[in-house]
Amino acid sequence: MVHTQKPTPSGFQRNEYAEAQLQEIIKKMRERSNIYKEKLNDPVLSSPEGSPTKEEAEAKPEEDHYCDMLCCKFKKPPLKKYMEHLQLPETIDSYTDRRYVGWLMLVTIAYNWNCWFIPLRYVFPYQTPSNTIYWFAIDVICDICYLCDLLIFQPRVRFIRGGDIIIDKVETKKFYHSTVKFRLDVISVLPFDILYFFFGFNPALRVNRMLKHNTFFEFNDRLEAIMEKAYIYRVIRTTGYLLFILHINACLYYWASDYEGLGSTRWVYDGEGNMYLRCYYWAVRSLITIGGLAEPQTLFEIVFQLLNYFMGVFVFSSLIGQMRDVIGAATAGQNYFRSCVDNTVSYMNTYSIPRLVQNRVRTWYEYTWDSQGMLDESELLEQMPTRMQLAIAIDVNFAIVNKVDLFKGCDTQMIYDMLLRLKSIVYLPGDFVCKKGEIGREMYIIKQGEVQVLGGPDGTKVLVTLRAGAVFGEISLLAAGGGNRRTANVVAHGFANLFILDKKTLNEILRHYPDSEKLLMKKAKVLLKQKGKPPPGPPVQQPRGLASLFGQKQETPKLFKAMLGARGKDGLAKLLQLKRQQDAEEAKAEAETKPKEEEKMSEKPAASSVPPAPKSEPKADAKPAVMQRATSKESLIISMSPSPRAGEGEILKVEIKESQKK
């Protein structure tokens, strides 16, 4: 079959490349259709999609579970969902898994029980045969926590080896067994409680439970990492350290009193009142060196008191220093803010800055600190790697920048790079963001707040109010020639937080994204064309009558106006007057020189052997002669010179100069 090609209609230009691509697509679609036809005809061939299995066909959607309570019916997840959530994974990420932090808290409670009550039960007579069963039951619960941590949780904790996170359960178990922590955990669960059958229920046999201190410190680190205000927990923990040391000192004092004999001397405990509170009161006064205590009598009492004083000075000073560091770290940002404000106020007072300006500066400091918690966000982000900075910038600012029409269609990575270069600035109510007539070198993106565009004859009329997500000043970035001036005043209406992107930064980014640069240049041309259109004026009246037969009078060429000194009709009239005076002078001079030439011709011989001298051609650069006038003080110079550019013909020059007086 012969295919006849239809004639191409006039005015339609064929694209051979596009036509070839369409033919290729049609060919591939035909091949695909033939393959599917063969598969439908031949049942042996497998379908491109897997057939559903019997289990999938019989699978039913999960039923909704509802709970009736207090005449209310609400949906609740099934028990299976709870079990899946509580099921432990193969390995545990100790930095992000909150369940692991909760388990560490449970083990820490068991550890603190042993640390506080083992010395108390050993020294003070609080453990009696009547309540031993209760102490023993709590001890067993704590031991179960220790064993679960040793056998279930710690072998699953991931670790880092050579920069890689090991998530294999076998490897994590081997790593845990090779650490010192594993050895201490094993010692802490050794069942020395069996010796109860030989020595009775002596709490001193459980002293090995206090070796599980690594879990306690690990819990402190993980809890501080997830708390918003970690300094609060640090203060509580430091206070707990102080109370625990006083608790140990109270136990030692009661032990020393019992060794010397209760009430045997004025220094020992006399056995009256609440024994623990009386001993704790003595420990506080002794460690903090308040004084007012009874003087020791025996050598044992003197040595004990001296050691107590030495330990009190060392421990108490260490805890006070640690507390100072904790509180100082918690208020470091506030102290830095106050230092900046004080230095700025001192500077303004030194140079006698007006009170109004000082109040605005203080307002800016207070609002910036209250809204951001810091004066400059970039100081915090500079400490992080670039990828983390980008992740934070995307979460915080990408939703705002992505709404900007100017950057729609641009490369996403280009927008990411731009997010890292944006600078955040806070403007106070009434501050000028930009003024009319200024050279624009940056664009603005409103992050928070509102700005007003002012105009009108007096520049106080609100033309438009821009809110969060709006952009203005983008023409300054896209103007190729630069020097683009602002066309209106922009004032902050209330507190406004703006992103600023300057032209230099944008050019550095676009250097690596040529496609986005071309797209922005196209948008720049459209914006500049829209901006350059003159405002619609009144309609031009058409001439009536006979005047409509003639065209509109053309305006005098600007070049001719410039040649005449930009004086318009006055310069043209003067030029015509000078031309008439020059013609009159030429006629007069010709009349005077004609008789003299006739006399010379009569005296000259008829035939001369000397050939006439050839006329020299005037040079292109030679200036024409100036014709002086007796009746005027001005001279007119009219000359023709070739144009320095090829193909432009000659240039007519008309100069009017004042003649020099001799």
Predicted pLDDT at 523: 79
On whether the CB atoms of residues 511 and 417 are closer than 8 A, the answer is no
Task: State the burial class of residue 235 (Cβ atoms within 10 Å of its Cβ: 0-12, 13-18, 19+).
Answer: middle
**CB proximity list for 649: less than 8 A, separation 6 or greater:** 643
From the list 186, 183, 185, 182, the residue with the least C-alpha distance to 172 is 182
In the chain (662 residues long), the average pLDDT of successive 10-residue segments reads 47 66 83 73 45 44 51 56 72 88 94 95 92 93 95 92 87 93 94 87 91 93 88 89 93 92 89 91 84 84 90 83 83 85 91 89 86 72 77 79 78 85 86 85 86 85 86 73 74 88 85 86 75 50 51 52 51 64 76 60 47 44 43 56 60 58 42
On whether the CB atoms of residues 203 and 127 are closer than 8 A, the answer is yes
Predicted pLDDT at 565: 53
Topology of domain 404-530, per CATH?
Answer: Jelly Rolls (2.60.120)
- Coil, strand or helix: which one is 189? coil
- Per-domain residue ranges for the chain? 404-530
Predicted pLDDT at 486: 81
Predicted pLDDT at 457: 81
On whether the CB atoms of residues 513 and 411 are closer than 8 A, the answer is yes
Residue type, 389: Q
Centroid of chain to Cα 631:
80
On whether the CB atoms of residues 524 and 532 are closer than 8 A, the answer is no
On whether the CB atoms of residues 445 and 397 are closer than 8 A, the answer is no
Length of the chain: 662
Predicted pLDDT at 652: 60
Q: What angle do CA 271, 272, 274 make, to 5 degrees?
A: 100
Helix axes 503-510, 514-532, angle to 10 degrees: 140
Predicted pLDDT at 2: 44
- Two tokens, residue 152: 């279930």
CA distances from 291 to 267, 315, 531 (A): 13, 17, 85
DSSP 267: S
On whether the CB atoms of residues 289 and 309 are closer than 8 A, the answer is yes
**CB proximity list for 430: less than 8 A, separation 6 or greater:** 491, 492
On whether the CB atoms of residues 571 and 578 are closer than 8 A, the answer is no
From the list 417, 428, 424, the residue with the least C-alpha distance to 446 is 424
Cα separation, 402 vs 429, whole angstroms:
27
pTM across the whole model: 0.59
